[in-house]
Homo-oligomer: A and B are copies of this chain.
Amino acid sequence: MTTHSAKPEDKRTRILNAAIHVFAENGFFHSKVSDVAKAAGVADGTIYLYFKNKDDLLISLFENRMALALSSLEEAVAAAEGPEGKLRALIRRQFELVAETPEVAEVLTVELRQSSKFMKEYSPAAFADLLKLIAGIVREGLADGSFSTNIPVTHAARMLFGLLDEVTLNWLLSKDKFDITEATDWVVAFILGGLKQGK
């Protein structure tokens, strides 16, 4: 442990990493800032050098992990060909991320819903970026004729997000886990059907 010699950025990262584990294990509302401090190996007061309060810690965590997830999704989409291929790549990567880092998915999907600040007062830029990424693929598919629907693109993006989010939530909360990466094929088939016949 290099608690005293750690650079400020390292300490902030260490606190965020600790918060993921603490929130995923105990739930956001049952977690105390002092639990996070203990798990991060810092003094309670140190947390408040980087974060205003527990809500701010959750929001910072969300922004940090969503930015990482979004880069990964964007990378997968950029490497794929055509609107169908891009949609498939996005969905596969999303479920891979969930399967690889369930603790992060737990915090992003389950715990965040329990923060009233987040649900009602905070409009996360990263969430808007995810919707934009999805909407961009839908728009591209409408332009090149791959998709045909009269659903407004922003609503279609929301619907796709809701579907992916529910499959993720179902997987996270189910005791007997199904193979979420295998679910990619079902979800892609359903969404492609919806985007092609939806008019």
Q: Nearest Cβ in chain B — how far from A5, in angstroms?
A: 38
The proximity string for A residues 155-178 relative to B, scoring 1 for CB distances below 8 Å and 0 otherwise, is 110110111111101100100001
Interface residues on A, range: 35 or more
Contact partner of A190 among B114, B166, B194, CB < 8 A? B194
Q: Please give the residue numbers on chain A whose beta carbons come within 8 Å of chain B beta carbons, in ascending order.
A: 27-30, 110, 113-116, 119-120, 149-152, 155-156, 158-159, 161-167, 169-170, 173, 178, 183, 186-187, 189-199
Contact indicator A155/B186 (Cβ below 8 Å):
yes
Chain B residues positioned under 8 Å from A170 (CB to CB): 155, 158, 162
Contact indicator A149/B195 (Cβ below 8 Å):
no
Chain B residues positioned under 8 Å from A156 (CB to CB): 186, 190
**Shortest Cβ distance from A110 into B: residue:** B119
CA distance A159 to B169 in the complex (A): 11
Chain B residues positioned under 8 Å from A29 (CB to CB): 29, 116
**Shortest Cβ distance from A186 into B: residue:** B151
Given contacts A114-B114, A149-B186, 14 further A-B contacts (CB under 8 A): A120-B173, A149-B189, A151-B186, A151-B189, A155-B186, A156-B190, A158-B166, A158-B170, A162-B163, A162-B167, A186-B198, A189-B197, A193-B196, A193-B197
Chain B residues positioned under 8 Å from A115 (CB to CB): 114
Contact indicator A187/B199 (Cβ below 8 Å):
no
Contact indicator B194/A199 (Cβ below 8 Å):
no
Chain B residues positioned under 8 Å from A189 (CB to CB): 149-151, 194, 197-199
